[in-house]
Structures are given as structure tokens and as C-alpha cells.
A and B are shown apart, each in its own frame.
Chain A
Amino acid sequence: MSGASPTFDLRGVSKIYQTRGRHGPSVTALNDISFTVNEGDSTAIVGESGSGKSTLSRLLLALEAPTSGSVRYRDEVISGRDERQLRDLRRRVQIVFQVPMSSLDPRMKVHDLLAEPLRALKIEVDEGERVRELLQSVEMPTSAANRYAHQFSGGQRQRIAIARALGPSPEVLIADEPVSALDVSVRAQILNLLTGLVCDYHLTLVFISHDMAVVRHLCDSIVVLYRGNLVETGRTEELFASPREDYTKELLAAAPQIRAARVARTRKGREGEPRSA
């Protein structure tokens, strides 16, 4: 990786939203964030509601510009560019959202859902052929093309959303909590699919999540956000082996784990005390 410029390079990025007019109170969604996303890496942005992780995804997609600081994609500043200059970026960076039911138009058949980005970006391909290819890549039957999103289960809908994002052959896939609304078993299926796709298509993955277990399984490096501030960043295994910051430790401790006996569990202030019958 020496010499190669990172896929994303954020330097001193802040995003402040003005509420209620120009002189109203302001909300700092992101405060002086700097990190890089390296090509071919899977990078997790970890944080909970209000951490600024979704604002960050909008900055990476150049849907919004930072209030200060810069966002670079392969050495080019993407913040503040007009749509014409961003045309290329729109193809290269794609996103998968948390709730496919609200990101997939219920009135469009799967064929059109998958073909729409190709048409919008004027990508010249055999539409039917490409749609079949995309469905196969997410392990869906090609017959799915003639049905509507609501006719599929939550996991299948998320596969459709992933196929739609893959359509323009992106270099980067941003996935915003793509599995948090899914059952554990379906979650595992989608994570396996993502792992395979990242490998097969040499994708750079930016995975936004609050679930440390999922992140540990999928990502090479981690950026932890808390209330708009960058708390900690590092390679996944190092960060799990020795988290430095209290908030990271709290995130790890909060995750539910399989335990064989409830009574043996230590609870704050009541260690070892058996439950009264």
C-alpha cells in the first residue's frame, strides 16, 4: 500500500447544522474528524444514534459538504464540487441503507429497481443481461426481476438493495447498518454475502454499525464515533484486544453474549447474589 493514496482521506472535518434560521442554535454533528479509508480495506464506522455516523456517510457520498475541513477521494477534494464534476464519483461510490423497504420504491419491479441506476448514470449495457447477473451475484433467482420488493423477506430485500448498489460497478460500497434490522440467522447470511462480494469485486467497504460483534467479523479497521467526536481508531484485532477508550470498552461490554447460567452472571453491586425465588 506504500505510496498509494487512500480511497478516502478526511482531514479536520466538521459539520455544523444551523437550526431555526441563520442565527438560531447550531448542532455540531461532526467535530474535527480525521481518518483515512485504504483501498481494499473494510472500514467500520462505529457509533450509536447521534454519533454523526450517518452525517459522515453523506459527506463520503458528497451529498453534503463539511462546514470545515476536507474530504478527498483518491487525492481529489470532493466536498463542495458541483454535480457535473461529481458524475464519476456517483458511479464509483454506492450505498446500501438500513431499511430496504423505505429505500426501494414499492411501485417498481425488481428489474427496474436494478436498472434505474444504470439508466441514470447512462451506463451502456444490456439491461436484462446485467439485471440477471446482479441477481445471481446476490444469490437470488433471476425470476425475482418480475416481482415487487414487498413480495420478498427482509433479508431478500436487502440482497436486492445490495444488487442495486453493485449495478454501476462501484469501487466503494457504503453500507449504513445493513443488517441491524435483520434476525440473527439472516444477518449471518447477508454478512457472508458481503464478505464474498468485497472479495470477488475488490470492493472497498465502509460499514456503518453500532454492533461490535458484526464489525469484528467483517472489518479490517474501525473508527469509533461518539457524539460527533472521533473516540478511537485502529486495526480491528488490536482494538478488540486492547480498547483504549472507556466508550469503546462500554460498547464491547454492552453486547449480549451466550451465557449458560443466568445466576452466575455478575451484576453491578449484586455480585454472586442468588435470585430470590
Chain B
Amino acid sequence: MSLLEVRNLNVSSGALSLVGDVNFEVDAGERVGLIGESGSGKSLTALAIMGLLGEGLSASGEVRFDNEDLLAASERRRCELRGSRIAMIFQEPMSALNPTRRIGDQVGETLRIHQNFSRRASEKAAIELLARVEFAEPERYARMYPHELSGGQRQRAMIASAISCDPEVILADEPTTALDVTVQRRVLDLLDRLVDEEGCALLLIAHDLAVVSEVCDRVVTMYGGHVVESGSVAQIIDEPHHPYTKALLATSRALSVTESASGADLPSIPGTVPSAGQFPRGCPFRDRCDRSVEACVEMPPTLTEDTRTLACWNPVERVERVSDGAR
């Protein structure tokens, strides 16, 4: 049994299905990367796991955490778990942090709520946490407000808050996307180190397969609100079976600092991700897919083989995979 098991998760807005039949699990201490373009349903999946879906959105299916179904749990029970055993790091720290409260106050808040720390004790703990996320003068930064920090510092403060109660799993939604490249490197390395030290599990949401391949053990690819493929990082990088994963990988590979310009166009995926409700019937990727066949008008079943899953009628052939791997 895994620490976090997502079973047939559906998220809908009225009659409109936004996330459909999502299945994956995260083992204790494991790091799973959830990838896909904007509009693939990654963030909604994370919010459903956290129980933070906005007004008008509803989730069904199961989200089992330590064998307890969170979707069936009371709001009171969810509050107990949120922040203490399951923590989340958001993409935009500026909108996730309260602009009117000092950093130390916000980083220590989780401890006051979940572990009954006094104000003084939580402030002391916040300073230690800020030191752990590499603030050189934690006392000084604890007294500052979010707007006085840089983007990278705010994200590190968010990480400090997330690890404060020693969670068993951290959900990180594009935690470095809005950051400069050297700052992104620092935050990724910090997250990597802390997750290691804490021994907690990580669900990292990213659109860049490169980021996921550096930090994670396993990859789950989402498109159109569905999981289309999953497997270990090595499996997915060496042999993507789903045309969508393969296309994402080709772009990430071509757009790399180690790849000089070939003069040819960069590989890209034709068209754009449709808005919710506009995906084609059957396989959601079929109208952008270069391997689509007649069968794709029906939704492909998800097949499981050892540690991999795949939902595709016409997966990437072995021959192509080998020739692609040679580059």
C-alpha cells in the first residue's frame, strides 16, 4: 500500500469534467513528477488532493492518504492533515503569502495551529526554519514582510513553512517556474536536499521534463485531465511510449544548453491545449497527435505493465524509440 493513492479521481465543474479517472500513487519517501502543459489538469489534481478546490468545483473518486480516504473525510479532519502531514508549495509565493503579516509569523503559523506552539516558541522555530532554507540572517528576515523579499527568498520562506511540521508528503506546484535560472537552481537543489533530509515524499508539478528528471524518481504524464503515461524517470526518458510524452521530451531535449542550434525548427506539438470541454471525444490528444488512428475516437484503456502505465491505441514503436535514443 502506498502513502498516497489517487483512485479514479474526477474533478468537475457542474456537468463539465475537468479531470477524469486519474490514478497514480506516491510511496513513502518517493518523488513523483506530474508533467503536462498548462490546462492538462495537473494543478486541479493537486488541489483536489489537498482539498482546496475552489467554489463550484467538486471531486469524486478516492484520495487515500495512509489508507484514509480524504475525499470522504470531514473538513475538520482535512484541516488536521493539511499543513501537518500533507504540505503544499505554490507557484506564486507572492499570492500564497499574506502581504500584511511578517515572514516569521507566517512560517511559524503551521506550528501554532498543529502543534500548539506558543507565539514565542513558534517565532523561535521560524527563525531556525529560515536558517534551514539558507537565509543568512534569519532573525532579520523573520521580521520582514513578503514584499521586502525577492522571488527566490519568498519561495524559500514557503518551503520553510511547508517543512515546519515534518510532513510525510509535499505537493509542489511549479515551485520554480517564475524564477530566474540561477535562483531556480538554488530552490530546486534546496528542495531536493530537504526532501532527502526529511525523508518525505514529493509530488512535483512541472511542465518541463528536465526539471522533473533532475529531482524525481517517477513521472506521471497528464493531458486533457487524464493520465496518459507513467513510469520511472529512466523508463520515460529512455523509452517514452505515449506520443505526448515523446513530444514533450523531444522539445525539452532540443531546448537545452548543451544542444547547439541545428538550423532546423525546434520540435514542438502542433496546435494548442484546448480549453476545458473543448477536448476531442476519445483520446484527448488525438487531434494534435502524429500517430492518431481510427481507434483513437474511443478513449484508450489504461494498461499496466510492471511499473509502467500507458493509455494509447497506437504507442510509439520500439524501432522509433531506439532510433530516437541514438541522438
Contacts and interface: CB of A to CB of B under 8 A. Distances in A.
Interface stretch (B4-12, B58-66, B213-221, B306-314): B213-221
B266 interface: yes
A256 B184 contact: yes
B266 A217 contact: yes
Interface string B230-258: 00011001100000000111011111111
A254 B233 CA distance: 20
A94 to B, nearest CB: 24
Given A188-B251, A260-B213, A240 B233 contact: no
Contact of B238 (A155, A260, A276): A260
Nearest to B184: A254
Contact of A267 (B182, B189, B247, B251): B189
A212 interface: yes
A120 to B, nearest CB: 30
B294 to A, nearest CB: 26
A32 B67 CA distance: 63
A153 to B, nearest CB: 5
A202 B29 CA distance: 54
A206 B147 CA distance: 31
Contacts of B258: 257
A153 B181 contact: no
Contacts of B269: 185, 189
A189 to B, nearest CB: 5
B154 interface: no
A256 B233 contact: no
Contact of A254 (B150, B181, B266): B181
Nearest to A247: B182
B151 A254 contact: no
Most chain B CB neighbours (cut-off 10 Å) among A183, A259, A261, A265: A183
Interface in A246-271: 250-262, 265, 267-268
Contacts of B75: none
B214 A257 contact: yes
Given A49-B180, A184-B208, A262 B255 contact: no
Contacts of B180: 48-49, 210
B209 A258 contact: yes
A262 B181 contact: no
A258 B213 contact: yes
A255 to B, nearest CB: 4
A23 B53 CA distance: 51
B257 A185 contact: no
B266 A188 contact: yes
A184 B272 contact: no
Interface of B: 29, 31, 37-39, 150-151, 180-185, 188-189, 192-193, 196, 199, 207-211, 213-217, 233-234, 237-238, 247-249, 251-261, 265-269, 272-273
